[in-house]
Structure 1
Amino acid sequence: MKIIDKKLFFLLLMLFPLFFASCEKDNENESVIINSVWSNTNGVESTQINSCFTTQWIRLEGSGFDGLKEIYCNNVKATFSPILNTSKYITFQVPSGVPIEREITDEAIKNTIRIVTTHGEYTYRDFKFKDKNKMPGINSVSYTLPKPGEKIYLDGLYLDATTEIYFPGPSGEVAATDYTIVNDKRIEVTVPAGVGSVSGAIRIVADGDIYYSPSYMFYTQGIFLKTFLETDVMVPSSTGVYTYANAKVYSDPVQIAALTGLTNNPDNIIAIPEVAKNIATTTSTSISSNFFKFYAYKGINKIIANSNGAITTASKLENLAIQFDLYMKTPWNSGVIAFKMNKNNSGKNAQYIYNVAPWTTTTPYTFTNGWRTITIKFSDFPSLALGTLGSYITTTTTGNFEAMIAFANVDMNADGHTPQALTNFQMYVANVRIVPTTTPN
């Protein structure tokens, strides 16, 4: 065995630190660059991404990360732990306060991740940060059975970022090209030609992402009261075929247009009261006039039989709503529409009653653009146990379970609104139906 000279051995020991220092120096001089960004959620396979939510953990891949000093997301400083980083990887959590794209005017910092090291910095661009508390969304549609050419409203949150709108059509989606962003909570849109025969959701593109309305647009298959003469749903009376109290059905389009003053109307409407009249305020919650009655459970069974499996006895009530179309010539500023699944209940907390009063003391409910759709989710009914539609039908067939839609000029909700006397009042109702409230993924 050859023995190394002692002097050579000590010389090598002295040179080793210089060698490693040289290697570290080479790493520090390596160009700083971010090549890609990856998701980094525990238990979930990592994928390359070009956007993420605030507070999400992400991983940067690149080179020259030694000597990392700072990380900025849209110019907001992020914290990091050195033990999670190497010269090629940086893992950190996006700060909660990162502004989203629409909140930034400075193009130099918009959609950027910037890292600063002891030997340089790098800015990664076109990476979008999203905030779950600031996501655009359509909460409701003003009229869900409109005709092409009519204007409707999409109401929701952060809608001012919308750049595209699509309606469901028979051969696929149809783009709406005529729309106005009223504010961040409302869009006015003209219904495009070629739609109305197929139900579905309205789709918008906002901030480059896709969002949907509930899937109840043009949901005609859910209608169980269309003519208000349905022998299988309406309640017979002792003196006539059906039970109306100071209400009248109209099916002649000329008569309907004369009543409403509108060009586009439903095929059939029921007017309440039969003739426009002055209505005084009252303190009684007992309804003796201005109503029509029907059997809700018969209407629901009718829908189940005709929906081709879209709505069944197994459908969850939390995913369903009742809708009807409404129009008044003047702004609605007093009284309620009492929607009673059981007419024998009264008050505001009964589980089968919902009192519709979208107006407030200072803000009347207006009918700009014509007909409006009233949506009552089953989850809106106070204290109603949310099960399946089948179990709900069972509960509504017991006893004298007649349903009712009525108008009463009283503070039925006991929420402090002062009723006002109404002059020459009349309202028009059309197309009572059950609809889905789910949104596409």
Structure 2
Amino acid sequence: MKNSNYIWLWCLVFLSVGFVACNNEDEYFDGKYQDMPIVIDQIYLEDHESSVPDRPVDFARLGQLIRVEGKGLYGMKKVYVNGYDTYFNRAYVTDNSMLIQINSSTPVVDADPDVRDIIRFIKDRTETSYTFTIRAASPSVTSISNTLPKAGETVYVYGRGLHETTKITLPDGTEISSGIESDEDGEWYSFTMPSDITKGGSVYSEGANGTAATPAYFNNTDCMVLDFDGNGTQGFWSWSETGSMINDEDLVNDPLNSGRGKSVQFVPERLITAGGIAPGKPRAAECWTAGNDDDRDDWSRMYAYIPATTPLTEVALQFDVYVPEAWIGTGQLQIALFNNFNFSGIGSDDDAASKQVAFYVPWIQEGKVVPFTTDGWQTVTIPFSDFKKYAAQIENRETPVFQNVVDERNASTYRNFGIGFVNTDFTYQGVNVTATTFNSRIYLDNWRVVPCRSITISDYPEDETE
């Protein structure tokens, strides 16, 4: 009986709350509140997952919930954020506080300049405007056009939310604030590489949506594998005038005279002069590092820069490519972590879930055949998680790490690292390719291992250490 009385008592309480709410809603429109001046003292970010769930802020992002603190808020009729008519629930409005969620449709960089970064509070007979920055989602970086640029070369950084980039900081602290261009859709910004930049790491940028950072692979040569100019050792054997092996005499001077020194041409000029690479030919050209007797082929030396426990989604192979003539319709590059593969290409025995190989076919993009050329040197980044064996492990919910790559290379009979050109028929991204004669010029340089972890800059770094 006591329990029944207790439940009935609580029902009465809730009913009374309901009646008060209804009365308050009616009172909300009372004319006496429409004359009361609106004063905004502070805006707070409401985030229950943060270490500071009610944080005073001077900006908010689309979709975030803010609490406005001040006086004369009760009776508010309209709120415009960047000119956008923003809904709010009157149930969460008192004289001193109200909650507003920034609608995801609110214009940001495309807002009218007269209302951008302004919240307008309106009653029937009074209103006020409060200056408050509105940002889109945190900016992020997906790639860099050229991570080893020479002084004077233009660098493009691609990503999202990179609108109105106004300041760039290079890994050595050099700041760039002029000559920056950025895409109106926020998909890229560009700058000119200054001279005398020797330190590698991340590039930081500041724009309309806050700070963005690239992975720490810009200007990073700490883990160079082979640059064809004395950093790393090229290996070759059984060379012949008509053979696939590329030796040091096959190397060419940088075709752009940019100061990069020597590079490797796939396919060597001697084979192009002889008529090119015939269709159906595996192992058409190949270039290797020295192998077992060379200390630099023990990649455990890289642990000083990339910890052994780094997940393979955060470690990548990079190389620079220059393709002056359209590459389309035939040919592929096969990348082998050690010398135990036939360079038979996609669809062959090399292309299996147990193999430490990856493939590069830039003229097939998202299932479409497109002519591939580069305007100068361009960087290719292939995470080790894309190599067949490690991709299969990740799909099986395993977590391969950098030490797995190093240990498997060191345990192999021949630990040469190599890249080969293959000209066979294959199917890639749903495209069926029938090989034809290949006689174009592709240049590669600066084979290296780099960290590639994506970086998102927190609006409130102290949260990251909680």
**Alignment TM class, shorter chain as reference:** 0.7 to 0.9
Residue 322 in 1 paired to residue 313 in 2?
Answer: no
1:299-310, aligned counterparts within 5 Å?
A: 302-305=298-301, 309-310=304-305
**In the alignment, which residue of structure 1 is the partner of 2:5?**
none
- Structure 1 residues 230, 51: CA separation in 2 closer, same or farther (over 3 Å shift)? closer
| Contact 1:248 1:270 (C-alpha < 8 Å) held by counterparts | no
Query: Given the superposition, is the C-alpha separation of residues 435 and 186 from structure 1 closer, same or farther in structure 2, using an over 3 Å criterion?
Result: same
Q: What residue is the counterpart of 1:290 in the other structure?
A: 285
Identify the match of residue 340 of structure 1 among 332, 336, 340: 336
1:180–1:80 Cα change, 3 Å: closer
Deviation at 1:160, TM superposition (A): 4.8
> Do residues 426 (structure 1) and 441 (structure 2) align?
yes
The residue type equivalent to 1:363 in the other structure is V
Q: Is the 8 A contact 2:76 2:121 kept in 1?
A: yes
Alignment partner, residue 151 of structure 1 = 154
The residue number in structure 1 matching 2:133 is: 128
Quote the Cα distance in structure 2 between the aligned partners of 1:63 and 1:364: 63
Q: Residue 356 of structure 1 corresponds to which residue in structure 2?
A: 360
Q: Would the aligned equivalents of 2:279 and 2:437 in 1 still touch at CA under 8 Å?
A: no
**Residue type of the partner of 1:247?**
I
From the superposition, tell whether residues 128 and 412 of structure 1 become closer, same or farther in structure 2 (CA, over 3 Å): farther
Q: 1:296 to 1:392 in 2, by over 3 A?
A: farther
Q: Count residues in correspondence.
A: 397
- Asked if 2 retains the 8 angstrom alpha-carbon contact of 1:246 and 1:291, the reply is yes
Residue type matched to 1:390 in 2? Q
The one-letter code matched in structure 2 to 1:128 is: T
Q: Distance in 2 between matches of 1:423 and 1:301?
A: 31
1:356 aligned partner, one-letter code: Y
Shift of 1:436: 0.8
The 2-side partners of 1:34 and 1:183 are apart by 33
Paired position in structure 2 for 1:414: 428
User: Using the alignment, how far apart are the partners of 1:423 and 1:395 within structure 2?
Assistant: 34
The 1:153–1:131 alpha-carbon spacing in structure 2 relative to 1, beyond 3 Å, is closer
Q: Give the secondary-structure state (helix, strand or coil) at the position aligned to 1:61.
A: strand
Change (3 A) 1:189 1:118: closer
Partner of 1:147, secondary structure, is coil
CA contact (8 A) 2:135 2:209 kept: no
Q: Do 1:296 and 1:341's aligned partners in 2 also have CA atoms closer than 8 Å?
A: no
Partner of 1:213: 214
Q: What is the aligned counterpart of 2:257 among 231, 242, 263?
A: 263
Contact residue 281 and residue 419 of structure 1 kept, 8 A? no
The Cα of 1:401 is off from its aligned counterpart by 6.0
Which residue of the other structure, out of 383, 399, 408, is the alignment partner of 1:395?
408
1:305 is paired with a residue whose SS is helix
Structure 1: runs of 5 or more not aligned: 1-20
Find the counterpart in structure 1 of residue 68 from structure 2: 60
TM-score by length of 1: 0.78
Query: C-alpha distance in 2, partners of 1:40/1:234?
Result: 58
Paired position in structure 2 for 1:374? 380
1-structure distance, mates of 2:264, 2:115:
58
Q: 1:38 offset after TM fit, Å?
A: 0.7
CA shift at 1:54, angstroms?
A: 2.0
Aligned equivalents of 1:56, 1:299: Cα separation in 2: 53
How far, CA to CA, are the matches of 2:49 and 2:323 in structure 1? 55
Structure-1 residue corresponding to 2:266: 272
Residue 433 of structure 1: how far off its partner (Å)? 0.9
Shift of 1:376: 0.4
Query: After superposition, what is the alpha-carbon deviation per residue over 1:263-283, rounded to whole angstroms, capped at 9, x for unaligned?
Result: 214233223333251435634
* Cα shift readout 1:285-329 (whole Å, capped 9, x = no counterpart): xx322012348898887454256x221222221211101122233
Distance 1:327 1:280, change over 3 A: same
* 1:139 Cα offset (Å): 1.7
2:404 aligned counterpart, secondary structure: helix
1:404 and 2:418 matched? yes
Structure 1 residues 53, 174: closer, same or farther in 2, change over 3 A?
Answer: closer
> What is the CA RMSD across the aligned residues, in angstroms?
3.4
Separation in structure 2 between the aligned mates of residue 124 and residue 156 of structure 1, nearest angstrom: 31
1:9 aligns to what?
none
- Contact 2:40 2:69 (8 Å CA) reproduced: yes
Contact 1:250–1:270, Cα closer than 8 Å, also in 2:
no
Assess, with a 3 A threshold, how the Cα gap between structure 1 residues 302 and 394 changes in structure 2: closer, same or farther: closer
SS of residue in 1 equivalent to 2:301: helix
Contact 2:47 2:65 (8 Å CA) reproduced: yes
Q: How does 1:31-50 map to 2 (within 5 A)?
A: 31-42=37-48, 44=50, 45=52, 46-50=54-58
Change (3 A) 1:228 1:267: closer
Q: Which of 135, 140, 145 lines up with 1:137 in the alignment?
A: 140
The percentage of counterpart residues that share the same residue type is 21
Q: Is the 8 A contact 2:283 2:420 kept in 1?
A: no
1:389-429 per-residue CA deviation (whole Å, 9 max, x = no partner) reads 11232334445565430122345452316467466423222
Q: Contact conserved, 1:279 with 1:421, CA < 8 A, in 2?
A: no
Cα separation, 1, equivalents of 2:286 and 2:177: 38
CA separation of 1:76 and 1:160: change in aligned 2, threshold 3 A: closer
Compute the displacement of 1:333 (Å). Answer: 2.3
Q: Does the residue aligned with 1:270 lie in a helix, a strand or coil?
A: strand
Query: Which residues of structure 2 form unaligned runs of 5+?
Result: 1-26, 394-398, 458-466
CA distance, structure 1, for counterparts of residue 439 and residue 317 of structure 2:
28
- Residues 27-71 of structure 1: CA distance to partner in whole angstroms, max 9, x if unpaired? 664311222211112254222112112221111011111212233
In terms of Rg, which structure is larger?
1
1:90 aligns with 98
Q: After superposition, what is the alpha-carbon deviation per residue over 1:84-131, rounded to whole angstroms, capped at 9, x for unaligned?
A: 22101112322222222x121x23332222223355222222x22233
